[in-house]
Amino acid sequence: MSLAAGGARLAFARGPQRTDLVAAAARSPTRLLTPRNHGHARWVYTSSFGGGLVSGDEARYDLDVGAGATAVLLTQASTKVYRSPRPASQTVRATVGAGACLAILPDPVVCFAGARFCADASIRLGEGASLVWLEVLGAGRVARGERWAFDSYASRLRVEQGGALLAHEATELDDRAGPLGSRFGAMNLVGTLLVAGPAGETLGPDLRAASTTPRRGASVVAQASTRDGVTVLRFAAERTEDGQRLVARALAALPPLLGDDPFARRA
């Protein structure tokens, strides 16, 4: 199957000692980096030759995680979205086989003033499969006065297992209900962390423990909920570093599951 511009295809299979990357292809401007790492999981970093997404760019990731394999998808840096007369988009389609685990842990999306961005993800889990999903949105180039100054941001995540819908998360942000900057108050980072499957049973308690007591003037707010074996932590922070530390605490039990720490470089 040929790849459209911006497309990427990855396939993972369980090997004798660790997960193998058995297929990897990408078409410009999407770029894939596949460094060696400790542990049994196989890691892939995504990047872009253009340094970000411009008007009309479409990035699509098709992932196949074979039975018993463990795959980690990260970004080399924040995903920058430039001013976009036409929306830039990112699509993820993933199949996670029986007993496999997929962790998608990107850096924040940073939308510049005037940017339009939409993301859509659909994850199909096999029997006993696990998902760790992180989605983070930054306020923009705050130091340049571009705080929550993008035109629109929309994202959707669907998680299915055995034909049944496990989770459906959706976010839509624009200024139709008022300026985003005033609606977010002091917060410069918002995010969603979702875990499902056996890995979610291990990680869920820490996500729930990361919930904070609502109070005026708090620099970090977070609330977790669990339903049908899926735990979701929604959070906001004044500073990016505070949000990253919250995620690292909530996923403190993840590095032992992977054999390596995906947050070490972000400390």
pLDDT digits (tens, 9 = 90+) for 245-261: 999 999 999 999 999 99
Q: What's the angle, vertex CA 73, arms to CA 224 and CA 225, rounded to 5?
A: 10
User: Which one is predicted more confidently, 49 or 157?
Assistant: 157
Strand partners, 158: 122, 168
Summarised one tens digit per residue, pLDDT across range 87-126 is 999 999 999 999 999 999 999 999 999 999 999 999 999 9
Beta-strand ranges (E) seen in the chain are: 7-14, 19-26, 30-33, 42-48, 58-65, 70-75, 79-81, 88-96, 101-105, 109-111, 116-125, 130-138, 152-161, 164-173, 189-196, 220-227, 230-237
pLDDT score recorded for residue 50: 78
Domain that holds residue 196: 7-260
State phi, psi for 182 to the nearest 5 degrees: -75, -30
Does 266 map to a domain?
no
| Exposed e or buried b per residue across 139-156, where buried means at least 16 C-beta atoms within 10 angstroms of its C-beta | bbeeeeebbbbbbbbbbe
Write the DSSP symbol of residue 140: -
Total count of domains within the chain: 1
Does 265 map to a domain?
no
Q: How confident is the model at residue 161 (pLDDT cuts 50, 70, 90)?
A: very high
Does 1 map to a domain?
no
> What pTM, to 2 d.p., does this model score?
0.95
pLDDT score recorded for residue 266: 60
pLDDT score recorded for residue 265: 67
CA 56 to chain centre: 21
How many angstroms separate the Cα of 255 from the Cα of each of 92, 203, 263? 24, 11, 9
Give the dihedral of Cα atoms 44, 88, 236, 201; nearest 10 deg: -40
Does 166 map to a domain?
yes
Does 63 map to a domain?
yes
Rounded to 10 deg, the angle between the 240-250 and 198-209 helix axes is 130
Does 34 map to a domain?
yes
Summarised one tens digit per residue, pLDDT across range 207-228 is 999 999 888 889 999 999 999 9
Give residue 52's identity as a one-letter amino acid code: G
**How much is the mean pLDDT over the chain?**
94
Give residue 160's identity as a one-letter amino acid code: E
Q: Is the pLDDT of residue 1 over 60?
A: no
**The token pair that represents 150 in the structure block:** 């993008």
**pLDDT average, residue stretch 157-169:** 96
**pLDDT average, residue stretch 17-35:** 94
Counting residues of the chain whose pLDDT is more than 70, the rounded percentage is: 99
Does 120 map to a domain?
yes
How many angstroms separate the Cα of 23 from the Cα of each of 35, 94, 117? 15, 14, 28
Q: Are 47 and 31 in contact (CB under 8 A)?
A: yes
Does 31 map to a domain?
yes
